Amino acid sequence: MSNLSSKILERLPKRHSEFLRELGVFADKKKSKLYLVGGFVRDIILEYPNLDMDFVFVGDAISFVSNFTKRKKVEVKKYPEFNTATLVFSKNLRVDIASCRKEKYPEPAALPLVSKGSLRQDLMRRDFTINSMAISVNKNFGRLIDYSNGYEDLKKGIIRVHHEKSFVDDPTRIFRAIRFKVRYGFKIESNTSKLMRKALHDKLIEKLTPVRIKHELVLLLEEKYPKEAMANLEKLGLFLHINKNFKIGDSLELYDEIDIRRKDIKVWLFYFLPLVYSTTLATSIEIGKRLGFTKKEEEAIIKLHIAKERLKKLPKDPLPSKVYTFCRELPGEVIYFLSSVSKKELGQYLDKYSKVRLEITGKDLKKMNIEEGPIYKEILEKTLLAKVDGKIKTKEKELEFVKNYLGFKQ
Ligand code: ATP
């Protein structure tokens, strides 16, 4: 396969292909060379959905973009430190254009030193052969440039690094290899697999900063098959390199019970919870710290452990108000996780109980000549719980409940 033009145009929405053509014509006019690269090229060949167009430009990408966007209605973000610009036409059409570069790793797992390079250097600095192809956007639109047999590897479903030091330079590539393996059902070539294990054995994951490990783990948890992704990491023994007590064990089976996605929860955090469900609270906190969790994310894992214990004390068929008070301090991810693996009634909180609101307010209590103070909170809380239990439905009934409640107390 050497020309992919029809395949690209077939798969792109009109707006995207018009943009490509315009960009190509402009590059020709400027006698400059521009290429589509990376994941977009891989996915075009695989016919896998992907509208994330990344370009490399031979020369100064920022001035090219500045010239191209003159008198155009488009938001341009420039990143001179990376010689890159992002063009945002709309929510669905945003592209990165970077200058071709080469990289040098000053030490294992450190960020690379970057300098201007050729297209070949730019492609060969990449992680795997399947991610190292380019497609010309110029006059010869659609021509494939493939210096490392990426096309053949892609057709065979093989993930292969370019050189022996690839995982030493950048151990995040271990996570990336698993990401593509699981997503496309590919195989990791045997030498690549050996190098990956050697990097793990040589403790290179330990050298990564929290933010880089977290980023990769989040991407894996957001993939379509988080269980398979985690099973692959477990098989490699990778979790133990994040924390020496990070043992997954039977937790993987929990994934079979929690394949539901909701808009109101953070998918990756939800899929992270099984990993720490069976570890101790102390280990979970250490793991959260190693991964650079935010306060809120750390809180979610602490609350998971607390709720797991408290759950033991919840009656077998709890009243809705019991479920309500159990859940209301918990993040949605924790509620949904526990409702999937342990107590399905908790799911009602998200779907139903959390939406219950009182019609009466403090003003109504004032009208009833109740003296203002902490009692207001107590009355409203009791009324709300009664409403959650379905005992009252209308405003009149709420007022009646308050009267009874106070009468009962006096
Ligand atoms: P996805 O479909 O998951 O977004 P992608 O391949 O597009 O996958 P990106 O992280 O957007 O992934 O990276 C774009 C390209 O940049 C990759 O295809 C690869 O060529 C290169 N790349 C990204 N990360 C690395 C890395 N850690 N080492 C070397 N090359 C990388």
Domain containing 60 equals 1-153
The answer to whether residue 190 is domain-embedded is no
Domain end, chosen from 132, 153, 174, is at: 153
Q: Print pLDDT tens along the chain (410 aa).
A: 678 999 999 999 999 999 999 999 999 999 999 999 999 999 999 999 999 999 999 999 999 999 999 988 899 999 999 999 999 988 889 999 999 999 999 999 999 999 999 999 999 999 999 999 999 999 999 999 999 999 999 999 999 999 999 999 999 999 999 999 999 999 999 999 999 999 999 999 999 999 999 999 999 999 999 999 999 999 999 999 999 999 887 788 887 777 566 677 898 999 999 999 999 999 999 999 999 999 999 999 999 999 999 998 888 889 999 999 999 999 999 998 898 888 878 888 888 999 999 999 999 999 998 989 999 999 999 999 999 999 999 999 999 999 999 885 54
Q: Which of 235, 298, 240 is nearest to 272 (CA)?
A: 298
Q: How many domains does the chain have?
A: 3
Residues 61 and 98 sit within 8 Å (Cβ to Cβ):
yes
The answer to whether residue 162 is domain-embedded is no
Q: Which of 207, 177, 169 is nearest to 193 (CA)?
A: 177
CA of 135 to the centre of ligand 1 (A): 16
| Ligand 1 pocket, mutate which of 126, 130, 162, 179 (most atoms under 8 A from CB) | 126
The answer to whether residue 245 is domain-embedded is no
pLDDT digits (tens, 9 = 90+) for 81-132: 999 999 998 888 999 999 999 999 999 999 999 999 999 999 999 999 999 9
* Pocket of ligand 1 contains residue 170 by CB under 6 Å: yes
Domain end, chosen from 316, 340, 355, is at: 355
Q: What's the chain's length in residues?
A: 410
Instruction: Looking at the structure, tell me whether residues 309 and 399 fall in a common domain.
Output: no
The beta strands (E) that lie in 167-274 are given as: 187-188
pLDDT on residue 203 = 98
CA of 215 to the centre of ligand 1 (A): 13
Instruction: Looking at the structure, tell me whether residues 349 and 390 fall in a common domain.
Output: no
Instruction: Looking at the structure, tell me whether residues 9 and 99 fall in a common domain.
Output: yes
3-class SS of residue 148? coil
Which atom of ligand 1 is nearest to 176's Cα? 27
* Pocket of ligand 1 contains residue 112 by CB under 6 Å: no
The answer to whether residue 271 is domain-embedded is no
The answer to whether residue 168 is domain-embedded is no
Instruction: Looking at the structure, tell me whether residues 98 and 20 fall in a common domain.
Output: yes
Which distant-in-sequence residues (6+ apart) come within 8 Å of 405 by Cβ?
A: 379, 382, 383
3-class SS of residue 247? coil
The answer to whether residue 284 is domain-embedded is no
Instruction: Looking at the structure, tell me whether residues 304 and 396 fall in a common domain.
Output: no
Domain end, chosen from 153, 183, 211, is at: 153
Instruction: Looking at the structure, tell me whether residues 380 and 327 fall in a common domain.
Output: no
pLDDT digits (tens, 9 = 90+) for 217-254: 999 999 999 999 999 999 999 999 999 999 887 788 88
Q: Which of 143, 38, 46, 152 is nearest to 95 (CA)?
A: 38
Instruction: Looking at the structure, tell me whether residues 398 and 343 fall in a common domain.
Output: no
Instruction: Looking at the structure, tell me whether residues 65 and 14 fall in a common domain.
Output: yes
The answer to whether residue 42 is domain-embedded is yes
* Pocket of ligand 1 contains residue 212 by CB under 6 Å: no
Instruction: Looking at the structure, tell me whether residues 128 and 92 fall in a common domain.
Output: yes
